[in-house]
Every structure is written in structure tokens, then in C-alpha cells.
Amino acid sequence: MSRSSRSIITLLVTASLSLFAANAAAERITTSQLPLAAVLVSPCTGDVVTFTGTAVLTVTETDNLSVRVSGQVKDAQATGLLYPYNFKDQLSSADVVRVDNVYKATLTDRMHFIRLGSGGDQKSDDLFVTVVIAATIDSNLVVKADRIDYRIDCQ
């Protein structure tokens, strides 16, 4: 390989690494945790249900232009139920808009509790807890809940 070919290859590799580093530096990612707690009445059985969990939210900002929020509820518990339930998280949506120097987000997460029979088999009267979080995302990409609403339904 000639000296000029090595120089060109070195230049191309250096340029590629510089471009990769610039792209990596243009993205910021943070994670916030919001505690969840509510006392609800199950329309399925009339049970008083104490719901708790933690919303773990990841905020990704790209090139100071757009913000994306993703997440899930961890350690979800629904106590006070007559029957045991399995749990499945269903993140429904996350809408984000910029307002002045902050972002306003509305996050909706529907948690699915699947009732188990005495033999451990799944029954059809499932319980759903929907959490709607209205939040502000500050310039450090930290999520702070402005309001948290809970709904409960069954199918």
C-alpha cells in the first residue's frame, strides 16, 4: 500500500470517528422515577384495591430539537384483591410538547392484572389500572409530575 493510500485511509477513518463522536455528543438521556399510589374500588369484584408502583421514565433529547419519553411501571402491586393476579405492563402513549424552556408531557400507562384461579389458571375477569401522568420535563431532562390520575376497569 502506498504512503498516499495510507494517508487517505487514515483521513477517512479519522473523519468517520469525528462524525460518530459528534452524533453521540448530540444526544442526552436521563432516567427519572415517580412513585405511584392510589386506593381504588374494583368494578369487577367491589374489592378496595391499593395500587402502588414506580414509573421509571427515560427521556431522550436529540440535537436540542426533539424529546422522546419511554418507560414502564416497575414493582406494580394491587393489594386487597380477593384473588391473586399476574401483572403485565402496557405502556400506551407518551405525548411531549415544548412550552417555552421546558417540555410538557402526558404519559398514559395501562397495567393489566390477570386473575388467577385456585389452580393457578388464568380467568377472564382481568383488572386494568390506567395511570395518566401530566408532567414537566426541565432543561436537565428531569421529569416532575404535575398531576397523576388513576382509573380502574375490568373486562
Q: Which grid coordinates are listed for 68?
A: 422522546
Residue 1 domain flag: no
Residue 116 Cα to chain centre, angstroms = 27
On whether residue 55 sits in a domain, the answer given is yes
Residue 68 lies in a domain: yes
Q: Is residue 6 part of a domain?
A: no
- Does the residue 113 lie in any domain? yes
How many distinct structural domains can be found in the chain?
Answer: 1
Position 95 in a domain: yes
Question: Does the structure show a pLDDT above 70 at 118?
Answer: no
65: in domain: yes
Instruction: Give the span between the Cα atoms of 89 and 12, in whole angstroms.
Output: 46
More confident residue, 65 or 32: 32
Domain of residue 65: give its range: 27-154
Among the listed residues 123, 121, 149, the one whose alpha carbon sits nearest the alpha carbon of residue 135: 149
d(CA 77, CA 141): 28
pLDDT tens for 50-96 read: 889 999 999 998 887 788 888 888 888 877 766 656 666 656 677 88
The Cα 28–Cα 8 span in angstroms is 33
Quick one: pLDDT band at residue 121, thresholds 50, 70, 90? low
125 Ramachandran zone, left/alpha/beta (phi>0; psi -120 to 50):
beta
Q: Name which of 140, 129, 131, 139 is nearest 71 in CA terms.
A: 131
> What's the confidence (pLDDT) of residue 88?
67
The mean per-residue pLDDT over the stretch 19-35 comes to 74
- Grid cell in block for residue 154: 375490568
Q: Report yes or no on 74 lying in a domain.
A: yes
